[in-house]
Amino acid sequence: MAEGVTVETSKVDDHVVVLLLGEVDMANVDTTRSQVLSAAADDPGGVIVDLSRTTYLDSSGIRMLFEIEEELTALRITFDLVVPSASMVHRVLELTGVLTHMRCRTTVNDALNAER
């Protein structure tokens, strides 16, 4: 477990859902990235990173999201972010353009249904 953030993974249908709880920053971004990518090691249909309970995301965390997206795209694994409009990191992702660049949904169910 990376300090400041807890990474919880679950399997829903052929997708891996990765919930990031807490703060993602320079101190834990490498470990967090590794945990997210290792969750995709079994070649799932898609990876959903749920930021609904992420309380802080600095620029290294934003870079991490782009790196994860790039790596999963190269592996032909779909990648979605879950970012509810009321979440702590929504405004940061909006200002940095992440919400328009990446496939972002408001709930895990929305992300799963979009794939069907």
pLDDT digits (tens, 9 = 90+) for 54-85: 999 999 999 999 999 999 999 999 999 999 99
Please name which of 73, 104, 33 lies closest in space to residue 20, comparing C-alpha atoms.
Answer: 33
Q: How confident is the model at residue 115 (pLDDT cuts 50, 70, 90)?
A: low
Ranked by mean pLDDT, which of 2-6, 32-36, 43-47 comes out on top? 32-36
What distance in Å separates the CA atoms of residue 9 and residue 49, rounded to the nearest whole number?
A: 9
pTM: 0.93
Structure tokens at 19: 């919930």
pLDDT of residue 116: 59
Please name which of 30, 40, 65 lies closest in space to residue 51, comparing C-alpha atoms.
Answer: 65
